[in-house]
Chain A
């Protein structure tokens, strides 16, 4: 109990010391932070300067590249125009030369065609005349030969084939007559049959039926 009041006496001191310590630590910390902040600001400034330098460098490079490209394109265009101009000149002169050559060729061909057709017509006339003469002679000889053959064949026909045909015709006629005879015979028979049937009276029919029954009985049909 005597010790306790001692603690109570020193406690505010201890607390004050502690507070002082904490405060000092905080001040030190804040001073540190400020220093760090300055450092960072400086670093940032350096970085911005670097960036600006880099940017300027890129821009310069791009500009120079663009200039180069423009120069190349202009040169290419100039070269192309030159080539086109040359080509046009060449094609015009070639065209003229070609036309001249074609015209000359046409004239030559026409001259040649005229000569050839004249020759052809003359030759054709000559050959046609020759053929006509030859054909007439041949035709006459063929006609004479044909006439002789026809006469010979007609003689042969009269001597051998004609009698044979006549005989066959006669046989055919005979056969058809015989067939007609048979047909007519059948027709006569049919007609007679029908007339006979109708001409027999019912009474006679009855008698004939009874006669048939009697005969059947005698033959043993009803045994």
Chain B
């Protein structure tokens, strides 16, 4: 399938589902008599995303006057979103937008395609990430290193619990 750049709209799986739902909502009204794309986009997206969507249409040469062309593009868009691969990342912190963007860009650069991110938070991994992608897994958190270091230190400098031992009982 021909690649469509949706990195402006979708980074995480939740966003992909949300985007797909909005596309469906627009699609339902395409053939209405008083269909107005601008108004509908305003309802479904905020201002910046609306502009981005219109820009997306222009990039793909979709005429906003033609309902059938628009509908066809919307169908293609939904199919494309559902076909995007998903990477499951288990990390130790709640990511902010810039972290998500950076990770998404990394995938775009290194896998040459957009990948939808599914993020799980597990503070037990301390730092780094456990990655699961298309049935393959890679555990790359720093937890094993941490445990190794801890056990080494504790062996070298063991914690001794000291309690005064009472004297032997004297014979009667």
Q: Which residues of A contact B (CB under 8 A)?
A: 154, 158, 166, 173, 177, 180-181, 184-185, 188-189, 192-194, 196-197, 200, 202, 204-206, 208-213, 215-217, 219, 221-222
Contact = CB atoms under 8 A, between A and B. Distances in A.
A188 B103 contact: no
B171 to A, nearest CB: 7
B101 to A, nearest CB: 10
B103 A204 contact: no
B93 A189 contact: no
B20 to A, nearest CB: 24
Nearest to B85: A222
A209 B91 contact: yes
A173 B161 CA distance: 11
Given A177-B161, A193-B126, A209 B99 contact: yes
Contacts of B54: none
A221 B85 CA distance: 13
A210 B102 CA distance: 9
A196 B103 contact: no
Nearest to A222: B111
Given A181-B161, A185-B154, A188-B159, A209 B171 contact: no
The 10 closest A-B pairs by CB, nearest first: A212-B140, A212-B129, A216-B138, A208-B127, A189-B150, A212-B128, A180-B161, A208-B128, A185-B154, A209-B129
B110 A222 contact: yes
Given A192-B150, A205-B91, A206-B102, A217 B110 contact: yes
A15 B125 CA distance: 169
Interface of B: 89, 91-93, 95-96, 98-99, 102-103, 106-107, 110-111, 123-124, 126-129, 131, 133, 136-138, 140-142, 146-147, 150, 154, 158-161, 165, 168, 171-172
A181 B158 contact: yes
B111 A196 contact: no
A206 B99 contact: yes
B131 A221 contact: yes
20 contacts: A154-B172, A173-B165, A177-B161, A180-B161, A181-B160, A185-B159, A193-B124, A197-B127, A204-B127, A205-B93, A205-B127, A206-B95, A206-B102, A208-B127, A210-B102, A210-B106, A213-B106, A213-B129, A221-B131, A221-B133
Contact of B146 (A177, A193, A211): A193
Given A205-B127, A206-B99, 9 more contacts: A188-B159, A194-B123, A200-B126, A202-B99, A206-B95, A212-B141, A213-B106, A213-B107, A219-B138
A133 B55 CA distance: 125
Contacts of B91: 205, 209
B110 A158 contact: no
B146 A196 contact: yes
Contacts of A181: 158-161
Nearest to B142: A208
Most buried by B among A154, A180, A221: A221
B145 to A, nearest CB: 11
A205 B127 CA distance: 6
A221 B128 contact: no
A125 B154 CA distance: 84
Contact of A197 (B92, B133, B138, B165): B92
Contacts of B158: 181
Contacts of A213: 103, 106-107, 110, 129, 131
